[in-house]
Amino acid sequence: MIFIDACFGKPTPYTPVWMMRQAGRYLPEYMAVRKEAGDFLSLCKDYKKASEVTLQPVDILGVDAAIMFSDILVVPLEMGMELKFVKGEGPVFDTPIKCMDDLDKLSVEKAVKNLDYVYDTIKLTRDKLAADKALIGFCGAPWTIATYMIEGGGTKTYNVSKKMVYDNPQLLHAILRKVTNSLKLYLEEQIKAGVNAVQIFDSWASALEQSAYFEFGFSYINELVDYIKDKYPHIAVIVFPKGISGFLGEVDGKFDVFGVDWSTPLMSAKEILGKKYVLQGNMEPTRLYNKDAIDEGVDEILSIMRGKRHIFNLGHGILPDVPVENAKYFIKSVQEKSAKYCK
């Protein structure tokens, strides 16, 4: 698989490319399946439909890897929290975690068992996916998941979670410990079901100052990475801590690929991390609105990485109103242009 070879820094005939959120709302085919499912969570829990939308970007765009369709918050949902997705508001937990009694009601074992629809999605997708195409599993990082559990949903200030950092760090560590224990087993079950790589999304990494992030954020990512790499060294592990460009010099771990977000200069990431890790990213997602901007972004990134130790991706997820024609153009442009650098 070209994607897996690239994850381990092996030579490839071109730079493999995929997109975060590639199974999503910009595709009319996805919207049709979601309408049939009824709502977002129902789509996540219907493994046949979830597999169908996982495969759509491979068939329609020609990306080099599929990423299973699911959501990072199915883990706390199946641990015992009540989750709903509210139009215009996003995910909402009606009863956020405020104390140890709330946390004690949640079950690691229940979560791992109840997430069988994710494992079924993976099994079906792996059966249908071409043998040369990689299947990526994923989870949210413990810190990012914990913020939703504590805040009760999305937030712009993280004030409840960050207050806990300083007022009640013991409770925060207890939440992170329970989430991490769940994620270890969750990722392991994904691997057993057939994924070839896993990505850990820390979407809210930038909410914390450096010292707090490495205590409450990255240390738990590394614990997950160590657990997977020690047991499954053949599985590629990607980490994506968004918005920590100022902390890159402190990044260290056993993972294989570091995802670079669009706000981080790729040259800086290459100079600091490029010898130790394969880099993934990091084109600004809004460039996909314009083909000239796509060409400029692709050319710039390829000239920096020159076909070495790199997986092409956006620096965050593809946006819902990007024209499908432009997404196709992006994928083909990367594959064709990068070939000259990989000879």
Residues forming the active site: 21, 25, 34, 71, 148
Does 50 appear as a known binding residue?
no
Please say whether the beta carbons of 134 and 64 come within 8 A.
yes
Q: CA nearest 195: which of 141, 119, 281, 278?
A: 119
Q: Please check if 203 is assigned to a binding site.
A: yes
Q: Which residues contact 54 (CB under 8 A, 6 or more apart)?
A: 23, 66, 67, 68, 69, 121, 125, 135
Asked if residue 338 belongs to a known ligand binding site, the reply is: no
The reply to whether 148 sits in an annotated binding site is yes
* Residue 23 marked as a ligand binder: yes
- Residue 316 annotated as part of some ligand binding site: yes
Question: What does the alpha-carbon distance between residue 284 and residue 15 come to, in Å, rounded to a whole number?
Answer: 18
42 annotated as ligand-binding: no
In terms of DSSP H, where are the helices of the chain?
A: 2-7, 28-37, 40-45, 47-61, 74-79, 100-104, 108-114, 116-128, 142-151, 159-167, 169-193, 210-213, 219-231, 266-273, 291-305, 324-338
- The answer to whether 126 and 67 have CB atoms below 8 angstroms apart is no
The residues, any chain, with a CB within 8 Å of residue 106's CB and separated by 6 or more, are 76, 79, 80, 81, 97, 178
126 is in an annotated binding site: no
CA pair distance 241, 316, nearest whole angstrom = 11
Burial class (CB in 10 A: 0-12, 13-18, 19+), 225: buried
Tokens of 233: 């060294």
Residue 25 among known ligand-binding residues: yes
Residue 213 in contact with residue 205, Cβ under 8 Å?
A: yes
Binding-site residues for substrate: 21-25, 71, 148, 203, 316
Q: Which residues are annotated as a binding site?
A: 21-25, 71, 148, 203, 316
